[in-house]
Structure 1
Amino acid sequence: MQITFLGTSSGVPTRSRNVSSVALRLPQRGELWLFDCGEGTQHQVLRSELKIGQLTRIFITHLHGDHIFGLMGLLATCGLAGNTTRVDIYGPPNLEDYLQGCRRYSHTHFSYPVQVHVVQPGVVYEDDEFIVSCDRLHHRVTTFGYRIAEKDRSGRFDIEKAKSLAIPPGRVYGQLKRGETVTLLDGRQIDGKDLCGPTEVGRKIAYCTDTVYCENAVSLAQDADVLIHEATFAHQDAELAFQRLHSTSTMAAQTALAAEAKQLIMTHFSPRYAPGNPIEFKDLLSEARAIFPNTQMAYDFFSYEVPRRRDL
């Protein structure tokens, strides 16, 4: 699981930072998931090592332009490329109306199925490997944060030990790999857990933007390996943050601390903190680290490989 930041500015793009979009690459299944799709996201994908043909799912937090203005262009390009088989899009109410309006007035036809799913708090997607859930955040419009949880997997199956116990290969190996107890033809009962290494604990990622500090963000990020959280303002500008329902660097850090997350990566920074201003991006990082030391500041094209628990 590799996270790549395609846009880390809030509101408007700058010369060095595009607006919001985060990619999650799942190499084990050859898929790419996007979280938000601000203007210019497809250009950012082209400048990265990501493959647009692997895009299968897009999760939208809310309908502000800096989070969705790149969506229609990206979908149109996927159709012209001709190698996209299906895209599922998840987001708040009116997202489908927005896309239908764009298609109608631009006369754009998708050559592949596009399915829009209106999300509500709870599970929005699940398969054999992942559960994606969402909850409401506290912003000026209906906004959702997302939690991506990889399911736990059985530990490595010890084939040599199975052979030493004279367990015949075949379907029984699959049952034992899943940790099941199997009765062999000779009457022996074999517990699959005895033949498997430690359970591989699934990784967890939380994506929370846009929002002022709220308990739902803490719940989404509970025990997360990575919390991606907006930090639009410096602590000094907390009053602005409350007025506009955005977070400060210290709010992001407090969320990570309360959730007992392993890693905080801040994004969605106001351009007012660009180098040369009285308060700079580095100051936001220092503020957050004073509360939650394991904090990083995202920049465009920054990639982060989410480690497995056994690697920590």
Structure 2
Amino acid sequence: MNLEAFVLGCGGMMPLPYRHLTSVLLRRDGDLFLFDCGEGTQVSLKRLNLKWKKIDAIFISHTHADHVTGLPGILMLNSQVDRTEPLYIYGPPKIAEYVETSRKVLDMYINYPIIVKEITAPCVVHEGKDFYIRCFPLQHTKTCVGYTLEELDRPGEFNVEKACELGVPVGPLFGRLQRGEEITLSDGKIVRPEDVMGSKRHGRKFSFVTDTLYLPSIAKEVQGSDLLICEGMFADDCADQAKEKKHMTSRQAATIARDSSSKRMAMIHYSPRYSDKELPVLLEQAQEVYPNAELTRDRMHFDLPYEE
């Protein structure tokens, strides 16, 4: 099962000609999840040629303009395809008011259900058959949350040779053992799943953190991420400004990645004060703490394979 992340916009505060505002699309086979929806989101979606008009759920970190101004367009363009499935929108208080007001003022034609759920406490906000998405509190100038998508553990590998040694005939009994069922052979011998199955294998984890003061608690929330998308808005010489505006430096983002043992960390939501030529200073400072730190760019793609 594929799990891929597409950075639709990596900028913060204001869009630039070469940098749209913060948004990330996560594709898990047929499921599409959008994290924040800044100005320019539609442009990147179009340029990537993704089949995105049936997004399953949108997760908003907070209701500052640079994270939600792309949302009305997404809602309207989703009406260009036939869909009966609801679109879920999650976010802190005021997201429901923003969506409803936008629909009324713009007189939107919407041909599908929109279900808005406001977050008031850390919780699991969205669930699927073998995964869940939860939120956790951040500290910004208004209520803000981070998100993680976490897959459930997968069954261990089925040992065909061992099953045959135990006398299990090739066929439907193999499937029952793989589904966790105990079986009885024709001679009365009992074979249990643990006799032929390897240890459970971990699922994958994606984390999205932006617009927050540095908090040591964030590392626990994103622990073991296969990919952590994290705000790294300022360089060290702007640490006081970052604290005043309740943002993070790239070094602080790297500290979270290191302390959470994340496999990869890619920074997002850069201050517009940094041109693309100046962004390497953020990367250099982050890599002093976490050598695997990366910079995101608009329309950058990340593949999250299983760790076998």
Q: Deviations over 1:261-305 (max 9, x none)?
A: 1111101001211146xxx10010000000000111000011111
Q: Aligned residue for 1:293?
A: 291
Q: Equivalences for 1:77-226 in 2 at 5 Å? A: 77-83=77-83, 85-119=85-119, 120-159=121-160, 161-163=162-164, 165-168=166-169, 172-226=173-227
Residues 275 and 72 (structure 1), Cα distance of their counterparts in 2 relative to 1, 3 Å cut: closer
Match of 1:3 among 2, 5, 12: 5
For residue 273 of structure 1, give the secondary structure of its aligned residue in structure 2: coil
For residue 96 of structure 2, give the secondary structure of its aligned residue in structure 1: helix
Shift of residue 89, structure 1, vs aligned partner: 1.1
Shift of residue 198, structure 1, vs aligned partner: 4.3
Contact 1:88 1:116 (C-alpha < 8 Å) held by counterparts: yes
TM-score by length of 1: 0.92
Match of 1:283 among 281, 284, 304: 281
For residue 305 of structure 2, give the secondary structure of its aligned residue in structure 1: coil
TM-score by length of 2: 0.93
Letter in 2 for 1:10: G
RMSD value over aligned CA atoms? 1.9
Match of 1:19 among 14, 18, 21: 21
Point out where structure 2 has 5 or more consecutive residues left out of the alignment. none
- Stretch moving more, 168-177 or 267-276: 168-177
Contact 1:177 1:196 (C-alpha < 8 Å) held by counterparts: yes
Shift of residue 215, structure 1, vs aligned partner: 2.9
Q: Deviations over 1:81-118 (max 9, x none)?
A: 33573211111112111111111111113101111122
Q: Aligned residue for 1:44?
A: 44
Letter in 2 for 1:116: V
Q: Deviations over 1:135-159 (max 9, x none)?
A: 1101000000011111111133345
Residues 84 and 300 (structure 1), Cα distance of their counterparts in 2 relative to 1, 3 Å cut: farther
Q: Distance in 1 between matches of 2:199 and 2:6?
A: 29
Higher normalized helix content (fraction of residues) = 1
Q: Aligned residue for 1:67?
A: 67
Q: Distance in 2 between matches of 1:286 and 1:133?
A: 31
For residue 99 of structure 1, give the secondary structure of its aligned residue in structure 2: helix
Shift of residue 218, structure 1, vs aligned partner: 1.4
For residue 98 of structure 1, give the secondary structure of its aligned residue in structure 2: helix
Q: Distance in 2 between matches of 1:49 and 1:275?
A: 24
For residue 207 of structure 2, give the secondary structure of its aligned residue in structure 1: strand
Q: Aligned residue for 1:262?
A: 263
For residue 272 of structure 1, give the secondary structure of its aligned residue in structure 2: coil
Contact 2:183 2:191 (C-alpha < 8 Å) held by counterparts: yes
Q: Deviations over 1:121-143 (max 9, x none)?
A: 02112222112111110100000
Percent identical pairs in the alignment equals: 37
Letter in 2 for 1:22: V
Shift of residue 40, structure 1, vs aligned partner: 2.1
For residue 56 of structure 2, give the secondary structure of its aligned residue in structure 1: strand
| Matched pairs, number | 305
Point out where structure 1 has 5 or more consecutive residues left out of the alignment. none
Letter in 1 for 2:236: H
Q: Aligned residue for 1:251?
A: 252
Contact 1:87 1:114 (C-alpha < 8 Å) held by counterparts: yes
Q: Distance in 2 between matches of 1:215 and 1:172?
A: 49
Shift of residue 237, structure 1, vs aligned partner: 0.4
Letter in 1 for 2:183: V
Q: Aligned residue for 1:235?
A: 236
